[in-house]
């Protein structure tokens, strides 16, 4: 996912946008926008230590990008993938942490979230020039590799192994969330009380907005039109992640093929959901749980109510289903849509 904020209003298409209104009396925030982890990352940090906090956060983001990359052959993650079916590989604490979390969220989502979608993401390569529909035979061949029970973790030796050759973990659906958690922790360490970070649609909010009110978070219209919001949610001290089909995709014969794979079929998911936004206390959770995107909207909302607890599901049929706890935080801005709180 990508985003804009007021820092960089000409940037790429966006999913979730922070509507930020700076208070006049406040010392101006430190703002930075950079391209990392395959997306745009934007930080806005208030307070005396803002500069130091932003510098440390940027350095951490650069490190995480290197370690968790699916495409860089030297990354910690690639070491695991290149040794699939062969050896245990010693891994950095964060890679192991994310592997464990990934298995956890695979179980919680009944396999909707699955980091072993790597071979299929590589096959589909939806964002590459000339992307095309792979053969059904090839897709079917790869499906057995997606069994997340094949991730073997050796806690004692801080190492892990993928059981079968050809298996590939792809942290694309959780690493940006983890990075947002890390950044907010860095802000807190520097005694920052007010900040936001947006890592391509994974938003972290610290404290309240400069006006002393909740931050106003706009949820992007799934038709992909920049800066157009379906609704606004007023939130503070939490993490928000959106998964949708309208940014990373290619078109063939009038049909769109996007980057979120249904691990049961091997094809880009085709549910009635246009976008799934999850609000949680960690961004690892909101990012991973946003893969309920591949489920039917009713099932997705039921699952969120039993687990993370807070979601806005936008369907392809101009209907928004939101959890009841958002009722007094929610503003409908696109009147083509109707809202139901459950
Ligand atoms: P983005 O990377 O644009 O923020 P998402 O958070 O929705 O989008 O994650 C999609 C990415 O996650 C894909 O690009 C791919 O790397 C990976 N992925 C694809 N399908 C799944 C899935 N079913 N479960 C977990 N990760 C997935
Ligand atoms: Mg995401």
Residue 243 near ligand 1, beta carbon < 6 Å? yes
CA–CA distance, 117 with 169 (Å, rounded to integer): 7
Q: What pLDDT is attached to residue 4?
A: 28
Q: What pLDDT is attached to residue 23?
A: 46
pLDDT in tens, 254-296: 888 889 999 999 999 999 999 999 999 999 999 999 999 999 9
The band of 65, judged by pLDDT with boundaries at 50, 70 and 90, is very high
pLDDT beyond 90 at 1: no
* Averaged pLDDT, 202-212: 96
Residues sharing a CB contact under 8 Å with residue 178, sequence separation 6 or more, in sequence order: 64, 68, 94, 97, 98, 101, 171, 283, 284, 287
Query: Could you please report the per-residue DSSP string of 310-326?
Result: -EEEEETTSEEEE-GGG
Give phi and psi for 227, each to the nearest 5.
Answer: 75, 5
pLDDT beyond 80 at 194: yes
For residue 1, the CA-to-ligand 2 centroid distance in Å is 6
As a whole-number percent, the residues of the chain with pLDDT over 90 amount to: 84
Strands of 202-206's sheet in order across: 30-36, 39-45, 195-199, 202-206, 238-244, 273-280, 311-315, 319-322, 338-341
Question: How far, rounded to the nearest angstrom, does the alpha carbon of residue 175 sit from its chain's CA centroid?
Answer: 8
For residue 34, the CA-to-ligand 2 centroid distance in Å is 17
Beta bridge partners of 340: 321
Residue 258 near ligand 1, beta carbon < 6 Å? no
Q: What pLDDT is attached to residue 26?
A: 63
Tokens of 150: 């094949």
Angstrom distances, CA of residue 175 to CA of 65, 120, 298: 9, 18, 27
CB 196 within 8 A of CB 33: no
For residue 315, the CA-to-ligand 2 centroid distance in Å is 18
pLDDT beyond 70 at 72: yes
The DSSP H or E segment spanning 182 is helix 175-189
Q: What pLDDT is attached to residue 25?
A: 54
Query: Could you please report the per-residue DSSP string of 233-300?
Result: EEE-SEEEEEEESSSSEEEETTEEEES-B-TTTSSB---SEEEEEEEESSHHHHHHHGGGGGS-HHHH
CATH 3.10.20.90 for domain 71-173: no
pLDDT in tens, 137-160: 999 999 999 999 999 999 999 999
pLDDT beyond 70 at 15: no
Q: What pLDDT is attached to residue 17?
A: 45
* Cα distance between the two ends of the chain: 26
Mutation test residue for ligand 1: of 143, 259, 288, the one with most atoms within 8 Å of CB: 259
Q: How many residues does the chain have?
A: 342
Burial of 141 (0-12, 13-18, 19+ CB in 10 A): middle
Residue 114: other Cβ atoms inside 10 A: 25
Q: Which chain residues have CB less than 5 Å from ligand 2, an ion?
A: 287
Residue 75 near ligand 1, beta carbon < 6 Å? no
pLDDT in tens, 320-334: 999 999 999 999 999
We find that the CATH architecture of domain 4-67+174-341 is Roll (3.10)
Is residue 214 classed as helix, strand or coil in its secondary structure? coil
CA–CA distance, 260 with 114 (Å, rounded to integer): 10
For residue 20, the CA-to-ligand 1 centroid distance in Å is 28
Beta bridge partners of 249: 258
The pTM assigned to this predicted structure is 0.92
The band of 253, judged by pLDDT with boundaries at 50, 70 and 90, is confident
CB 183 within 8 A of CB 56: no
Closest CA to 43 of 187, 176, 215: 187
Three-class HEC string of 186-206: HHHHCCCCCEEEEECCEEEEE
Look-up of token digits 């690639």: 78
The overall average pLDDT reported for the chain is 91
pLDDT beyond 50 at 223: yes
Q: What pLDDT is attached to residue 247?
A: 83
Q: Where are the domains of the chain?
A: 4-67+174-341, 71-173
pLDDT beyond 90 at 8: no
The band of 207, judged by pLDDT with boundaries at 50, 70 and 90, is very high
pLDDT beyond 70 at 24: no
């Amino acid at each position: 996912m990508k985003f804009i904020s007021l820092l960089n209003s000409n940037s790429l298409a966006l999913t979730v946008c922070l509507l930020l209104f700076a208070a006049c009396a406040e010392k101006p925030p430190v703002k930075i926008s950079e391209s990392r982890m395959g997306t745009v990352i934007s930080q806005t940090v208030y307070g005396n230590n803002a500069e130091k906090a932003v510098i440390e956060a940027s350095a951490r983001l650069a490190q995480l990008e290197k370690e968790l990359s699916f495409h860089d052959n030297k990354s910690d993650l690639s070491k695991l993938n290149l040794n699939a079916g062969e050896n245990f590989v010693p891994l950095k604490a964060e890679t192991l942490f994310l592997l464990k979390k990934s298995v956890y969220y695979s179980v919680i989502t009944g396999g909707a979230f699955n980091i072993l979608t790597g071979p299929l993401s590589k096959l589909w390569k939806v964002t590459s020039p000339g992307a095309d529909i792979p053969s059904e035979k090839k897709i079917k061949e790869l499906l057995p590799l997606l069994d997340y029970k094949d991730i073997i973790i050796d806690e004692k030796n801080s190492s892990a192994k993928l059981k079968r050759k050809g298996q590939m973990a792809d942290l694309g659906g959780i690493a940006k969330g983890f990075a947002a958690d890390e950044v907010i922790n860095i802000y807190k360490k520097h005694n920052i009380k007010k900040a936001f970070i947006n890592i391509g649609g994974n938003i972290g909010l610290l404290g309240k907005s400069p006006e002393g009110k909740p931050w106003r978070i706009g949820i992007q219209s799934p038709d992909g039109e920049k800066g157009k919001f379906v609704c606004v949610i007023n939130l503070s001290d939490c993490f928000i992640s959106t998964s949708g089909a309208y940014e990373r995709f290619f078109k063939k014969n009038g049909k769109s093929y996007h980057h979120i794979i249904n691990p049961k079929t091997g094809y880009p998911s085709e549910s009635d959901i246009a976008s799934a936004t999850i609000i949680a206390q960690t961004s690892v959770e909101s990012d991973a749980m946003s893969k309920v995107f591949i489920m039917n909207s009713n099932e997705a909302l039921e699952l969120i109510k039993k687990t993370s607890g807070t979601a806005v599901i936008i369907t392809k049929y101009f209907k928004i289903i939101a959890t009841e706890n958002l009722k007094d935080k929610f503003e409908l801005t696109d009147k083509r849509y109707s809202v139901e709180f459950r």
